[in-house]
A = this chain, B = another copy of it.
Amino acid sequence: MNYFKNIKLENYRNFNNLELDFDQNCNVFFGNNGSGKTNILESISLFERGRGFRQDKINNLINFESKKDNFRIYSNFFHKHGDIIVSVFNERKKISLTKKIIVNGSSSKDSKEHFESLFSIIYFLPEMERLFVSSPSARRNFLDRLIFNSNKRYLKIVNDYKKNITERSRILKDYNSEIEWLNNIEKKIVELGIIIYKERLTYIEEINLALKRLDIAKKFNYKININLDDLLLNQCKNDTNVLFEEYIKTIKASREIDKLLGGSKVGPHKSDIVGYDIGKNININQFSTGQQKTVVLLIILAQCTMLISEQKISPIILFDEVCSHLDNNNRELLLHIIKTLDVQTFLTGTEKSFFSFLSTKTLYCNINEL
């Protein structure tokens, strides 16, 4: 198992200078609202590709009360072949800021990719408690994150897909007559879109299987099944072979409306993810908030099991404010993730007493006193 041994924050969010050592298993940050608990979790999430779990602008990561215009985060990452020293900071590129990562002193693609392959950050944020009644885009992002956890190239495909949609909008708006150009880009969109569809369908099949195995082994009494709900897939009756032609036809036919709206009317960016309790035969969106949280925790547990046993990737789990809606059921599930699986977890909450159900091996950190 790989894990973060410590962290050092310089001029980052509300922290000027902060050094923390981590436990390889369970770490709890507690303290008042606004003390920076979530910021610490976010700083860990920045070691992964992207802009961290808040998806905030790089500019907002810099301590806004300081006069400096840089932040920097360091960590020693434990790996059996020797510690890896990583740092994340901002770099000015023309007028915008971008995030840079240095792995063992190198910024080469190879060393970054090696580092990325060693772990996968899974996060639970308060807004995910209501995942199944929030917007389809929240559910799509949740699913895409899970796929990215086990397939690091997936994010690039999704981004390429989005870029091509934007490019098509530009052509539709400015060069409507360039039919050849348009045909080409639409073909590219359809090809990428189909890869995304397939990745999602494959992943959903795998996670459903993992959830089923979990139910058989642990009897959490939730028989959860996830499904992809998509206009195009529904039309093709989930037959991905007829998908290509139908997709090309539909995207061509929607040129006029897409010209006005920007974007594209069909494709994986319009899918929704539907969850069912196949035991009780009801849609998860009819569950209570606490029960919906159970489902998300179950998915996280299934995801960890898959990552550890099949992909040999170390999950690192960030649980922001996980202690709300924690009845006996959810507590047992959470304990199972923290104790039984050999993973590094980070938890936040306003009070230490909320975590009394954890064993004494936990590392507690009072953020008010930093």
Contact among B32, B129, B260, B291 with A327 in the assembled complex (CB-CB below 8 Å): B32
Question: Using a CB-CB cutoff of 8 Å, which residues 250-288 of chain A contact chain B?
Answer: 256-257, 260-261, 282, 286-288
Nearest chain B CB to A148 CB, angstrom units: 22
B261 lies within 8 A of A33 (CB): no
A52 an interface residue at 8 Å Cβ cutoff? no
A291 lies within 8 A of B33 (CB): yes
Known contacts A33-B325, A261-B261, A321-B325; is-contact A60 B330 (Cβ 8 Å): no
**Which residues of the other chain, B, contact A236 by a CB distance below 8 angstroms?**
none
Known contacts A289-B38, A289-B126, A321-B289; is-contact A327 B257 (Cβ 8 Å): no
CB nearest to A286 among chain B residues? B60
Question: Using a CB-CB cutoff of 8 Å, which residues 26-49 of chain A contact chain B?
Answer: 31-38
Please state the number of chain copies in the assembly.
2
**Which residues of the other chain, B, contact A31 by a CB distance below 8 angstroms?**
327
A369 an interface residue at 8 Å Cβ cutoff? no
Nearest chain B CB to A56 CB, angstrom units: 9
Contact among B33, B134, B282, B327 with A330 in the assembled complex (CB-CB below 8 Å): B33
Question: Using a CB-CB cutoff of 8 Å, which residues 313-332 of chain A contact chain B?
Answer: 320-321, 323-330
Nearest chain B CB to A146 CB, angstrom units: 22
Known contacts A321-B325, A324-B321; is-contact A291 B126 (Cβ 8 Å): no
A87 an interface residue at 8 Å Cβ cutoff? no
Once the chains are docked, how many angstroms separate the CA of A290 from the CA of B31?
A: 11
Known contacts A135-B135, A324-B324; is-contact A33 B289 (Cβ 8 Å): yes
Contact among B127, B287, B288, B291 with A130 in the assembled complex (CB-CB below 8 Å): B127
A208 an interface residue at 8 Å Cβ cutoff? no
Nearest chain B CB to A132 CB, angstrom units: 12
B288 lies within 8 A of A33 (CB): yes
Known contacts A38-B289, A130-B126, A289-B38; is-contact A33 B324 (Cβ 8 Å): no
Once the chains are docked, how many angstroms separate the CA of A256 from the CA of B320?
A: 46
A63 an interface residue at 8 Å Cβ cutoff? no
Once the chains are docked, how many angstroms separate the CA of A256 from the CA of B257?
A: 11
Nearest chain B CB to A136 CB, angstrom units: 12
B34 lies within 8 A of A291 (CB): yes
Once the chains are docked, how many angstroms separate the CA of A291 from the CA of B321?
A: 13
A72 an interface residue at 8 Å Cβ cutoff? no
Nearest chain B CB to A180 CB, angstrom units: 26
A350 an interface residue at 8 Å Cβ cutoff? yes
Q: List 7 A-B contacts (CB under 8 A).
A: A33-B327, A33-B329, A34-B288, A35-B288, A126-B289, A127-B130, A325-B350
